[in-house]
Amino acid sequence: MDAVAAELKTDRVSGTESLHLTLPSSAPLPTVAAWAHQLLSQQWQRLQKHVKRVLTQHPEAAESLHQIRVTLRRIGTWVQVFQGSVRLPKPLKPKRLQKLASALGKQRDLDVLLEILQEPCWEGIPAAQQAELEKLKQDLQQRRTQAEKRSRRILEDADFLAFQAACEQWLAHPRYKPQAELPLPESLPHLLTPLLAQWLLQPGWRIPAFPATEAQAEQLHELRKATKRLRYQVEFFAPFYGETMQDWIATLKCLQDQLGRFNDLQVLQGELPADSDLQTLLQEQQKLALQEWPEHQQRCLASAEQHRLYSNLFSVSNFFPTGDP
């Protein structure tokens, strides 16, 4: 019997899937190896479902393409977490995964920009600005159509097929390093702390209430990506912690969404001339996106909060010896 059960749930607000893992009270104590294999197996099953939808042009193919990219990023985080415990073939190395995720993200990125241009904030703008907006929509839609065709080709080309074959082969015949046989309870804090440290060391935490330069905006973008990786990692191990971990996941998701909104608007600004009157409206929307940024910043830079986060990683609570009720 599997030591863990998994369920994919769809967020009603964002429409994105999140992985919910549960550990039965009668489950045996897992090793690092067993948990690593279980996690990758779940991501693999999720990937296959969405690849099939895209290749068969399912009505929800656009969302499935987004979920493929998300899954590739989750697998990339899995590699970061377990790289000291597993031996992986080249197609599962981080740079290969990043390349695939980036290539498959073009369509989704254009979809997000088009969605922003449909928002109510554009209603009532002057006719000249409306004409500029419509021209931009047409350009983005044409590029989106081409990106959709490229995405399907990527799923059938050699690099993606090699990734799929390597993933399937590793799951059938996994290769581990000696530390993979350690019990997961005593290993958990040490598996989790590296990405937490990387997150807290991001230069983006020192950005003021609103970025003043392109370089500062890029640092916020890097912080958003680090937040996403940390959230994926925390979700991997949430079954072994209490409600505190669920609260932290929600906080990370909130920060990720706010920084993501700011970055999407930044990308949209780059699609317009610097002297466009629409730039002012986009900047106003960016300021709204970062309304809660000072609160996140103040909390996470506080030494007491950082100490609490590290301490939580050592509060493993949901383990049950074999045979216990």
pLDDT reading at 251 higher than 50: yes
Separation of alpha carbons 224 and 218, rounded Å: 10
Angle (nearest 5°) at CA 50 between 48 and 53: 110
Q: pLDDT tens digits for 89-112?
A: 999 998 999 999 999 989 999 999
Tokens of 274: 């610097």
Q: pLDDT tens digits for 170-229?
A: 999 999 999 999 999 889 999 999 999 999 999 999 998 899 999 999 999 999 999 999
8-state DSSP, 325: -
Nearest to residue 236, comparing CAs of 7, 20, 48, 15?
20
Give the DSSP letter string of 252-274: HHHHHHHHHHHHHHHHHHHTS-T
Query: What pLDDT is recorded for position 223?
Result: 97
Q: Do 23 and 4 touch, CB atoms closer than 8 A?
A: yes
Q: Which residues neighbour 39 within 8 Å (Cβ) at sequence distance 6 or greater? A: 78, 236
Q: Which residues neighbour 83 within 8 Å (Cβ) at sequence distance 6 or greater? A: none
pLDDT over 70, % of the chain: 89
Q: Do 53 and 60 touch, CB atoms closer than 8 A?
A: yes
Q: pLDDT tens digits for 154-174?
A: 999 999 999 999 999 999 999
Give bridge partners of residue 17 from the DSSP assignment. 10
Q: In whole numbers, what is the pLDDT of the chain averaged over residues?
A: 88
Confidence of residue 296 (pLDDT cuts 50, 70, 90): very high
Separation of alpha carbons 309 and 302, rounded Å: 11
Nearest to residue 112, comparing CAs of 225, 263, 254?
263
